Amino acid sequence: MKRLIAIPLLVLLAAAAFADDEKKAEEYNTTREFKNRVFDVRNRNPRDLYTSIALLGSGFKGAAINVNQEMHTITVRDFPENIAAIEDALKRLDRPAADTPDIEFRLAVLIGSKTPLKGNPVPDELAPVLKQLQATLRYTEYALMTTTVHRTTTGRGLDGSGVADAALLGLTVNQERPVLYRYKLRDIASAPSAERAAIDISNFEFSMNVPIVLGGGSVQYQSVGFETPVSIRENEKVVIGTTTMGDKALIVVVTATVARPRVP
């Protein structure tokens, strides 16, 4: 008969604990030392930079990359070669963003008519446009309804709205029923040029709600306007669109100027 050998439970537990400690020791770096480094982020969002440098860490247990959004710092604990790689990446990535030029838009809304108008005269700067309109359209009289100036940047858009002079449109409307207009410019882009930049607008929308008096004195608003993509040259005065309102016409003229950075 074979004799069974009883191994004390305490010995088994000690062996298991030793194996567990040995496994943990393998997970940690025990032969090389980590280094610590704090990087100041000066130009970009630290969290955005973190997504670009996270994979440059060793991934070893105990290594870490921490971001402090308030202090604009990135703290790294890792092997020297990994810290060096992260430092090199931050030097290339943490740079000022390219200057986005401002674009100034001047919008002029004109009213065309076959009979004299009592509105503001068309500014002298729009004289070439006025001459062109008189030669191409059937309206002989023109007046300025409104003019606005907006400043925005490439990659963005702009919105505007206002109240038109009802008398200029030949309407008799009280203050409770104003003539409202609005415009939207979307996805503005600018292609640089040594002389005149090209400005592209993916969508230019202009609309006006004109009150129409119906039988019985009731009023119903009619929407008039246009929507179109636009491409113009800097400082050119361009007729973007026209729309008719009874015996009158509404004409939108736009001029764009790119604000270039000053040379020191």
pLDDT digits (tens, 9 = 90+) for 48-89: 999 999 999 999 999 999 999 999 999 999 999 999 999 999
All CATH 3.30.1370.120 domain ranges of the chain, comma separated, are 9-93
262 pLDDT more than 50: no
Q: Give 200-209 pLDDT, tens digit per residue.
A: 999 999 998 8
| Range with top average pLDDT, 21-25, 107-111, 119-123 | 107-111
| Helix ranges restricted to H, the chain | 9-27, 46-53, 80-93, 127-136
What secondary structure does DSSP assign to 153-205, as a single string?
Answer: ETT--EEEEEEE-TGGGT----TTS-EEEEEEEEEEEEE--SS--EEEEEEEE
pTM, rounded to two decimals: 0.60
At residue 30, the pLDDT reads: 53
Comparison of pLDDT for 202 and 179, the residue scoring more: 202
185 pLDDT more than 60: yes
Architecture of the structural domain at 9-93: 2-Layer Sandwich (3.30)
What percent of the chain is predicted at pLDDT more than 90? 49
Handedness of CA 117, 248, 212, 176 (dihedral sign): negative
At residue 245, the pLDDT reads: 79
193 contacts 256 by C-beta, under 8 angstroms: no
What percent of the chain is predicted at pLDDT more than 70? 81
Q: Give 5-54 pLDDT, tens digit per residue.
A: 444 544 444 555 555 555 554 455 455 799 999 999 999 899 999 999 99
Reported as a pLDDT band with limits 50, 70 and 90, residue 156 is: confident
Q: How far is CA 188 from CA 95, 103, 202, 236, in A?
A: 25, 9, 7, 16
Reported as a pLDDT band with limits 50, 70 and 90, residue 126 is: very high
